[in-house]
């Protein structure tokens, strides 16, 4: 039998059905819920030909914390997604997050969670010299690992150049930059590029970006955790786009 794992919550399960219905094996739904979110989920599951099993809430409590009344059993095999798969379906300017060599799985998971909250279309990271999407990162992401496409590349600088060819502006977050992020026009297709804990962006990554921008730091500390910085950058993009 193929290896499976559980995800929970309406947002995570709905996103999985929309993006990878073949990976959803079955859905467990609280038998005492009959609201609009449940009806929408049932309609989507029927369209995707995924079996839904009504179960007692107590059973769901034993399967996952804070489940909201829905748990899904999905394939543990990661679906391969390319950047073209993401960009070719967009109906708005792209908003991407590029992570340069993040080593801490907690930071990666938190970045994925922030990217989901900000509506980023994908997260891009190198295959080497980075932590990768392991069990800890997936857990910290709180479902976002199933909702935000996570794309690994063999050569990050080359991938940044490919983004430019798709008319996506690349902005590297760097403390020494002359302009701050509020001066950057983020209404166009854009990729924020953030570096590893402590070291920041690698030299080649920095040189490949279209421009660098800094987060204004008004206190005594010189830098922020990468997931916090991610949130500031991505949500400023969303603010400008409103």
pLDDT exceeds 60 at position 1: no
Give the whole-angstrom CA distance, residue 191 versus residue 213. 12
DSSP helix/strand/coil, 215: coil
> What would the mean pLDDT of 188-200 be, rounded to a whole number?
91
Sort 188 into a burial class: Cβ within 10 Å, 0-12 / 13-18 / 19+.
Answer: middle
140 or 163, greater pLDDT: 163
Angle made by CA atoms 81, 227, 199, in degrees to the nearest 5: 95
pLDDT, residue 10, reads 84
Tokens of 152: 């690994």
The CATH number of 4-75 is which of 3.20.20.70, 3.30.1330.30, 3.40.47.10, 3.10.580.10?
Answer: 3.30.1330.30
Contact criterion met (CB below 8 Å) for 21 and 50 = yes
User: Maximum CA pair distance of the chain?
Assistant: 58
123-139 burial, b if ≥16 CB within 10 A, otherwise e?
Answer: bbbbeeebbebeeebbe
Rg, the chain, Cα only: 19
pLDDT, residue 223, reads 83
Establish whether 101 is an annotated binding residue.
no
* Tens digit of each residue's pLDDT (9 = 90 or more) over 102-114: 999 999 999 999 9
Confidence of residue 139 (pLDDT cuts 50, 70, 90): confident
β-bridge partners, 222 = none
Query: What percentage of the chain exceeds 90 in pLDDT?
Result: 67
Domain range annotation of the chain = 4-75, 83-241
Establish whether 69 is an annotated binding residue.
no
DSSP helix/strand/coil, 238: helix
pLDDT, residue 5, reads 83
Tokens of 49: 């030909």
Give the whole-angstrom CA distance, residue 204 versus residue 58. 53
> Which string of DSSP letters, residue by residue, matches 52-105?
EEEE-HHHHHHH-TT-TTEEEEEESSPPP--HHHHHTT-SS--EEEEEE----H
CATH of domain 83-241: 3.40.1280.10
Place of tokens 């786009």: 241
* Tens digit of each residue's pLDDT (9 = 90 or more) over 8-66: 888 778 878 887 899 899 999 999 999 999 999 999 999 999 999 999 999 999 998 77
pLDDT, residue 85, reads 87
DSSP helix/strand/coil, 169: strand
Angle made by CA atoms 134, 137, 139, in degrees to the nearest 5: 105
Give the whole-angstrom CA distance, residue 195 versus residue 26. 38
* Tens digit of each residue's pLDDT (9 = 90 or more) over 140-155: 887 788 789 999 999 9
Establish whether 195 is an annotated binding residue.
yes
């Amino acid at each position: 039998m193929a290896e499976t794992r559980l995800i929970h919550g309406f947002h995570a399960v709905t996103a999985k059905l929309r993006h990878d219905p073949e990976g959803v094996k079955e859905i467990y739904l609280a038998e005492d819920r009959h609201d609009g979110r449940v009806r929408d989920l049932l309609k989507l599951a029927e369209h995707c030909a995924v079996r839904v099993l009504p179960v007692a809430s107590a059973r769901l409590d034993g399967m996952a914390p804070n489940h909201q009344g829905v748990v899904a059993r999905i394939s543990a095999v990661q679906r391969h997604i390319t950047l073209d798969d993401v960009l070719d379906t967009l109906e708005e300017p792209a908003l991407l997050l590029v992570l340069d060599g993040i080593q801490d799985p907690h930071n990666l998971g938190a970045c994925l969670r922030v990217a989901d909250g900000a509506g980023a279309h994908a997260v891009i990271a190198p295959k080497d010299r980075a932590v990768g999407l392991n069990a800890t990162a997936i857990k910290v992401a709180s479902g976002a690992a199933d909702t935000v496409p996570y794309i690994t590349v063999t050569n990050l600088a080359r991938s940044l150049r490919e983004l430019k060819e798709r008319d996506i502006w690349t902005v590297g977050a760097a403390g020494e930059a002359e302009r701050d992020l509020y001066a950057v026009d983020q209404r166009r297709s854009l990729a924020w590029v953030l570096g590893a804990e402590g070291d920041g962006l690698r030299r080649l990554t920095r040189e490949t970006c279209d421009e660098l921008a800094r987060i204004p730091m008004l206190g005594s500390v010189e830098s922020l955790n990468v997931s916090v910085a991610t949130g500031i950058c991505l949500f400023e993009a969303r603010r400008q786009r409103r």
